[in-house]
Structures are given as structure tokens and as C-alpha cells.
Amino acid sequence: MEQERFNYEAEIWNVADYLRDVIQRKDYNRVVLPFSLLRRLECALEPTRVAVCKALEDHEKEWGRESENYRTYSKKPFYNVTNFRLNNLGATDTYEALMSYIDGFSPNAREIMKRFKMEETCKTLQEHGMLYTTCMKFAAFDLSPEAVSDREMSNIYEHLIQRYGESIAEDAEDFMTPKDVVRLATSMIFANDEELMNSDKGIVRTLYDPTMGTGGFITDALDLLDEWHKNREMTAPAVIVPYGEEIEGESWAVGKANLLLRNVNNGDKDEYDSVKDLSAHVAYGDTLSDDKFPDDTFNYQLSNPPYGKKWEKEKDAVFDEARLGFKGRFGAGLPSISDGSMLFLQHVVSKMAPVSEGGGKAGIVLSASPLFTGDAGSGPSNIRRWLFEQDVIDCIVKLPTEIFFRTGINTYLWILNNHKPEGRKHKIQLIDASDMKESRRKSLGNKRYDIPEDKRRWIVETYIDGHDHGKSIIVSDTDFMFRQVTTQQPLHEKIILDAAKVSGLLEVLPKLKDSDKQVLKSAVIRELQNGTERDYWWADTFAKAVRKDMDKPVGAPTIAKAIRKTFGVKDKSFPIVTDKKGNIVPDPDLKDTENIPWDMDFDTYMQKEVLPYAPETWIDESVRDSGPLQDGKVGVVGTGISFNNYFYHYEEPRKPEEIAKEIIELEKSLGSFEEELLK
């Protein structure tokens, strides 16, 4: 009979529940995560603890208490030079002993404890006489590599994070990407990389997550590579070196811990692999304002930036870098201050390995706004234009809704590639995977659906094969570009004087002195004796003349403008207004814009779409493309990616009887509410 698995997650949660009178529920993660990590570390170090302590005794004068040399004795990428364990800290001075224990760890492990704010948590427990008991409860869990594999330990952490970790990143939209989305993105950026899967020459590739959260993208990429290489008897399979940056302290600590613990179950690894610290390049910092890898580029990148993240805090640094133009990361433009998604998008492109070094691929999960937000010539539009010109957008996948923990909005997976095959250069594949989902038995927050393995496989195969069918299409990037031209129509206007409107004229000129208003009023009434109709330019002549009789007059152009506003009448039957040089004066109220498809001739578009309805319209050629990507041609270049243009989803209208039933129910509930209110 198979032995039932010990439920670590539930038992660890029971410890937190035991502390509920001391530790608030929102802070449970400050107990369950760091103490689980600490117990895992000490279990992993137990077989070599004596050897490390002996090495300290022999070499402390030479090496000090901190030296990578101790890794040789611990056989791990971390070490501890003390004889402490959670079960021998003592019941009286537990806090002091625990702090000494933590101080004895290697810097990489100790830094994680610091970010978990463990010292603060332990002080609280000590003050309430519960620290010793907490240590003993965690000491009872067997988290040794023999009992719990690396994958199982990662799963335990993942479960704890999902269930209790919402307070880890309260200001983020979603601090952890669901595993099904992670696996899809990872599979897509690794797709077609035969060398990564099959090479036995010890090649090294780099993987970077600039918004790594708890590290799910990185750990899954490493898992996927291990799965490919499993049982293949390779002597020097490809290796991935992970890099990451995260600003939220406890999320960073979880991500770094997952990588630090990656190789503790390494009985089949050689000595070099056993002491290799996969967390060495996990940096703590704000990616937008403090790039921790300014001189590095990477073979692969995976990222899920927080949706709708304001970048007010990073504004000064971002503006400073934007002034560098394309020597910095944000040369193409800046998005709205309310959403930094397209800043992260530019950052990812700047980190792609150059083609001379094999090129780079990236998968980045974004909301819908980077597809279309921003008018022609705006920051977001220019950023998309730059991406098209760089030819880095390979594929965009529309994901199902309600597959994330914190949001149910539409999301899209962008696959970037700066080294596309010849047949896909300046082409973009769109895949509509919005119905590639299955219901979960139990929702997790807003996550009601998963992308199952068979549907993930379909998406990846559709991408690899480049299928052009009902749910996939490959189009030129110029299909998403247009020129926004400004159109004008001639002004047909006359001045029609009207005594009833004189008071309105005076209200339009509130800065005129009362005596000057009287001068103006009298002048208009005198003009009425000579008839009511005047041409458009009469307002200028009249304004100059009447101004001479005023005490402290406003400018003549201001008076003329007020006259046209009060007495001006537009009518297509009136002659076209021209200036002194005979040029047609445009009607400002009829000024408009037209978005002309990239490959369409202006005249053809106007003849088909505009002139049949407004035959006097012309394109204003003074409005030309300008900005960092300008070409100086007529019309401002605009961009926008629309899935609806290619994939139509029919939604059956709701039955009238259902709507009527809902209305009746609402009316009943409203009546009940009013009755309760009036009691």
C-alpha cells in the first residue's frame, strides 16, 4: 500500500495558525516562508555540518567567517559555520541564539533572511514567549533532500505563496504568474532551439526576468530544460544561467531562495555543479530606475510586468534616460505615467543579445493597452513603430480571460525575436487562444480557468509551424501602421449684424471698460443703418476703426474675433473665404483627421472614403511626421494592433425573457430596499 504523502503545506500553515494571537494573518508569510527556508537550509547542510565547522576551526584566521572556500566543505552553494540548529537554540535566550545562527550563514542565504524581515518577526515572537516553540515546530519537519526533492520543495513554496502570499506584494497587480502561463511562455521562447535541447557540448545560455517576482518564470525554464535532458545520458548538456531583478523585498527573497535551494538534491551532480549558486545574479532593485545589469544582454527573457503600474516614483530617472535617446533604453518614446508596461517592453528589447551573438528571444505578458493605446505620434504609438522598424515582434498570443490570480482582464503574450528566419522578417503572427482553456475545480482568486497541456501544445505548434488558419494569421507589420493626415474644408462665412445680439458681443469682451463697451455698441448700431450683411474680413476693418475711439481698448484682433463669434454665420451657399493672397481660409470647425492605411495612395483613399461625402476637403500638407523616428512626410505615422480585425467572435444575444426576468427581480429587490428604508 502506497504511503500517504505528508502534507507539509497544511502542517506549516498550522504553525502560523498557532501564532494567530501574535502574528496577524496578513503577516503569516513572514513566518511560514523564512522558517521553511531556514529548515530546508539546515536539513541540506546536515551531512556536511561537522566538516564545515572543522574547516572554520582550521582556517578562520586565514579565511575569516565568510569565504566561498567553505562551499567546498558544505558541498552546497551556501554554508553555515555554527553548530546551531533550530532544535538546539535553547529555551531561555532563543532570540540571541537564533540571530547568531542566522549570522553564521553565507551572505547569499543571510541576505534572504534580511529581506524576509525575519529579525523583526522573531523579536515579536520572543516578546510573547513563542519563538522557542516556533523553532521546535519547524525543526520537526523533515525537509531533507532525501525526503523532499528540489521540485517538491519548490511546489511547497509555490503552494504557500498562492495561499498566503497576497500580502507579499500588495501594491503589485499580480506578483506571481500562474504555472500554466509560465509553461506556455517558456515553451514558446525555447521553441525551435535544437541546440539548447540536443547539444552535448556544454553550451551556456543566459535567461533574464526583469520583473521576476517569486521567480516562477526562471525556475520553470530550468525545469523544462531538465525535462528535455532527462534520461538522455548527456555528458555536457546545455546550461542556463539565470538573472533577475525584483523591487518587492519579500517576493525577491522567495525568488532568490528558490534558486539558492535549486541544487541541494544533487547526488548525481559533480562538485562544481553542487556548489554553483544559481541565485548569484538575482538583484534587488527597481528595473525602470535602477537597471542592475546595464552592460548585459541575454539569450532569453521572460517577464510579466505589473499591469497598470504607475511610474511616478521612477519618473525623474526615466526622463533622464529618455533624454539619451537611443543610447538609453527609452529612446522610442514614453507611455502615460499611469502605465509603465511599454517601458518594460522597451527595456526587454534593450536586453536582447545582439544577432552577432546568436540573437535573443523574449516572452512578455501584457494587458491589451500596449496593442493600441495612444494617438498617432504619441509615445505608445511611436514605441510600437520602433518595434516594427527593429523587426522584433514575432508573435502575439491572445490569452483566455480569468487565468490570473489577481485580474480577469484580457492579456496577451508577446514573443519577441531579433533574429527571425528569412520568411518571417517584418511579419507578425497573431494567435487567438482566447478559448484555449478549461475550468478549474476550485477558483484561486480571479483564476477560474487553466490552459491545459494539450492546448498549450497546440499554441506552441501553431507558432512553430506558422499556421495561417482561423485562429492564427501571419501579416506584414505595415498592416498595423497608418498615416494620420489632417484634412481641411473651406470656410463659407459672412457677418450678419443683428441688434439683438449686441449684448452678447459685449459679454464676449469682459475686459473692456464700460465706456469702451458703449463705444463698441454705438458703432455696431450705426453700422446696422447701412444693412446687416458684411463679408468675413469686414470684422478686421471695423475693429481697427472702432478701436481708435476707445479709451483703453483691447487689441483689434480680439475685437474682430468677438465680432465673428457673435455675428458670424456659416452657410455652404456663401462664397469661400480667401485671404489677401487668394489662399482659401479653412474652416476651423471642419478640421479633421483621417487614418490612411500604410500602403494606400492618399488620392485613392480620399476619392473612396472622403470626397463623396465632403467634396471640398483637402489634405493639409503642412502637417508632417515629426519626432525621434520622423521621416518628414505628409501625415503623422500611427500604429495599432487589433485582433478584432482578424478574429471575429460571435456572441449570441441574450434571450428577451431572461432580460425581462432580471428586470423584474431588480424591481422587486428595489421595492424591498425602499420598504426597509421607510420603516
pLDDT digits (tens, 9 = 90+) for 17-38: 899 889 888 788 889 989 999 9
**Of the candidates 8, 411, 385, which has an alpha carbon nearest to the alpha carbon of residue 177?**
411
Structure confidence at residue 306 (pLDDT): 85
CB 67 within 8 A of CB 41: no
Q: Is 80 exposed, middle or buried (0-12, 13-18, 19+ CB in 10 A)?
A: buried
Question: Residue 192 carries which side chain, given as an amino acid letter?
Answer: N
* pLDDT mean over 488-497: 97
Nearest to 643 by CA among 395, 365, 277: 395
Average pLDDT over residues 362-367: 96
CA–CA separation, 487 and 613 (whole Å): 13
What is the residue-wise DSSP string for 223-278?
Answer: HHHHHHHTTS--SS--EEEEEEEESSHHHHHHHHHHHHTTTSS-TTS-HHHHH--T
Query: What's the confidence (pLDDT) of residue 168?
Result: 42
| DSSP one-letter code for 609 | I
Looking at residue 441, what is its pLDDT? 87
| 267: pLDDT strictly greater than 80 | no
Of 297, 306, 302, the residue nearest 329 (C-alpha): 297
107-115 vs 29-45: helix crossing angle, rounded to 10: 160
* 420 φ/ψ angles, rounded to the nearest 5 degrees: -70, 150
pLDDT over threshold 80, residue 674: no
pLDDT for residue 667: 60
In this model, does residue 679 exceed pLDDT 50? no
Closest by Cα among 276, 271, 272 to 242: 276
- Determine the Cα–Cα distance for residues 465 and 40; give it in Å rounded to an integer: 44
Scan for cell 546550461, then name that residue. 239
Cβ-count burial 33-66 (b if 16+ within 10 Å, e if not): bbbbbbbbbbbbbeebbebbbebbeeeeeeeeee
pLDDT in tens, 208-250: 999 998 888 999 899 888 888 887 878 888 899 999 999 988 8
CA-based torsion, 202, 208, 213, 217: positive or negative? negative
pLDDT of residue 649: 60
- Cβ–Cβ < 8 Å for 579, 585: yes
Note the pLDDT of residue 662.
61
pLDDT of 46 > 60? The answer is yes
300-351: per-residue pLDDT in tens? 999 999 887 899 999 999 999 999 999 999 999 999 999 999 999 999 999 9
The predicted structure's pLDDT at residue 399: 94
Instruction: Supply the DSSP symbol for 65.
Output: S
Q: Which helix (H) or strand (E) holds 523?
A: helix 514-528
Report the distance separating Cα 305 and Cα 292, nearest Å.
17
3-state secondary structure of 284: strand
**pLDDT at 655 (0 to 100):** 67
Confidence of residue 167 (pLDDT cuts 50, 70, 90): very low
Task: Single out the residue of 367, 368, 197, 218 nearest to residue 282, CA to CA.
Answer: 218
Instruction: Outline where DSSP puts E strands in 342-480.
Output: 361-367, 393-398, 411-417, 427-432, 438-444, 447-450, 472-476
Q: Which residues contact 13 (CB under 8 A, 6 or more apart)?
A: 28, 32, 160, 163, 164
Unique residue bearing C-alpha cell 546545455: 238
The confidence score (pLDDT) of residue 409 equals: 83
Per the CB < 8 A criterion, the answer to whether 111 and 259 are in contact is no
CA distance 416 to 299: 11
Q: Backbone phi, then psi, for 352, in 5-degree steps?
A: -75, 135
Q: 678: pLDDT confidence band, cut at 50, 70 and 90?
A: very low
Cβ-count burial of 268 within 10 angstroms (0-12 exposed, 13-18 middle, 19+ buried)? exposed
Q: Report helix, strand or coil for 556.
A: helix
Task: Kindly report the length of the chain.
Answer: 679
Q: Residue 158 has what pLDDT?
A: 74
**CA 515 vs CA 442, 512, 518, 552, 667: distances in Å:** 79, 8, 5, 9, 62
- CB-CB contact of 435 with 457 (8 Å): no
b/e per residue 583-607 (b: at least 16 CB within 10 A): eebbbeebeebbbbeeeeeeeebbe
**3-class DSSP state for residue 595?**
strand
Residue type, 677: L
Angle at 40 between CA 39 and CA 44, to 5 degrees: 115
- Asked whether the beta carbons of 362 and 325 are under 8 A apart, the reply is no
For residues 165 and 255, what is the distance between their CA atoms, to the nearest angstrom? Answer: 13
pLDDT at 188 over 70: yes
What is the per-residue pLDDT across 76-122, written as a single tens digit (0 to 9) for each? 999 999 999 999 999 999 999 999 999 999 999 999 999 988 899 99
pLDDT for 161 beyond 80: no
Kindly compute the dihedral angle of the four CA atoms of residues 400, 404, 409, 410, in this order, to the nearest 10 degrees. Answer: -30
Asked if residues 503 and 565 have their Cβ atoms less than 8 Å apart, the reply is no
